[in-house]
Amino acid sequence: MRELKSDRQHKITFTLDGRQVSGDAEPHLLLSDFLREKLGVTSVHVGCEHGVCGTCTVHIDGKAVRACLTFAVQVGNRRVDTVESLSNNEGELNDLQSAFRKHHALQCGFCTPGILMSVEHYLRHNSDPTESDVRDMLSGHLCRCTGYVGMVRAIMETAAKRKSGI
């Protein structure tokens, strides 16, 4: 394991939403703060900074991870994907995002990027979930606006459509 000096800046190079990026971070800098403050990735939101609310969830090498419980220096040479990777450059939302819109699965939208990233990871490994499965998975996130109803509907609909190849 590489040893890092506590007061030094360490250069981190990694893939962010498909682009090679790099930046300097002290070892105690959280990935959430690094993405937001140093790289300007303001789509990663910070809700509790102790791993409960799930707002800051991103993918690291394809797995949903809390960015507030990860140090920036841990992502060197890895792949980090944020909610910005889900829509294309023409401003088209993906199927899950569109279903969230259709079913009014967001209000203030602050928790939404993290939730979308968890759901994308989950659906990749669970193509045919029951509503109870989906609710279990979603329980790793807090949303204070919606009561989760629209989210459950949107996720169930997206899972069904993806499974049937629509």
Partner 1 sequence: MSAKNTVGSYVGQAIERQEDAALLGGQALFSDDLPIAAGTLHAAILRSPHAHAEIVSIDTIAAKALPSVAAVLIGSDIQQYSDPFITVLKRPIDEWSLAVDRVRFVGEAVAVVIAEDRYKAEDALDLINVIYKPLPAVINPKEAAKENAPILYPEAGSNVLSERHFKYGDPDGAFAKSKHKVSIEIDYPRNSQTPLEGYVVVASYNKFDDAYEVNANFQGPYTVHPVMSRALRVPGSRFRMQTPAHSGGGFGVKQAIFPYVVLMCLAARHVGRPVKWVEDRLEHLTAATAAPNRIIQAEAAVQEDGRVTAFRFVQLDDYGAHLRPPMPGPLYRQHGLMTGAYDVPNLAITNRLVLTNKTPSGMVRGFGGPQIYFAIERLMHRIAIELGMDPLDVIRRNLVASDSFPYRAAGGALLDSGDYQKAIDLGVNDGGLDELKRRREKARAEGKYYGIGYAAIVEPGQSNIGYLSTIVPFKERQKAGHKGGSVSHATIHVDPMGVVSVTADCIPQGQGQATVLSQIVADQLGLKPEDIKVSLEHDTQKDPWSLATGNYSSRFSSATAVAAHLAAKKVREKLIAVAGQALNVTTDDIELTGGKIVDSKNPENFLKFHRVAGLTHWEPGKLPTGMAAGLSETASWAPPELDPPTEGDQINTSLTYGFLFDYCGVEIDPHTAEIRIDKYVTTHDSGKLLNPLIANGQIYGAFAWGVGCALLEEFAYGEDGSFLTGTFADYLCPTSVEIPEPQILHMETPTPFTPLGAKGIGEGNCMSTPVCIANAVCDAIGAENVNLPIYPAKLLPFIDREETAPPQDIALSQRQQTPDGGRAIVGEGNIFAPTDPETVWQTLLDPRHLAAIIPGCQNLEVVGENAYRADVNIAVGPIGGMFRAEISLSDLDPPKSVTLSGSLAGPLGSSAGSGKVRLTQEENGTRIDYTYSVEVSGKVAAIGGRMLDGASQVLINQFFKRLIVRLGGEPIEKPTLWARFLRLLGFNR
Q: Quote the least distance from Cβ 10 to partner 1, whole Å.
A: 15
Q: How far apart are CA 88 and CA 102, in angstroms?
A: 19
65 or 152: CB nearest partner 1: 152
Q: Quote the least distance from Cβ 18 to partner 1, whole Å.
A: 14
Q: State the residues that interact with partner 1 by CB under 8 A.
A: 28-29, 36-37, 42-50, 52-53, 55, 82-84, 86-87, 91, 93, 97, 100-102, 104, 106-113, 116, 134-136, 138-152
Compute the chain's Rg from CA coordinates.
16
State the Cα torsion 135-139-140-142 to the nearest 10°.
120
122 or 165: CB nearest partner 1: 122
Q: Quote the least distance from Cβ 134 to partner 1, whole Å.
A: 8
- β-partners of residue 65 are 58
- φ and ψ at residue 163, rounded to 5 degrees: -65, -40
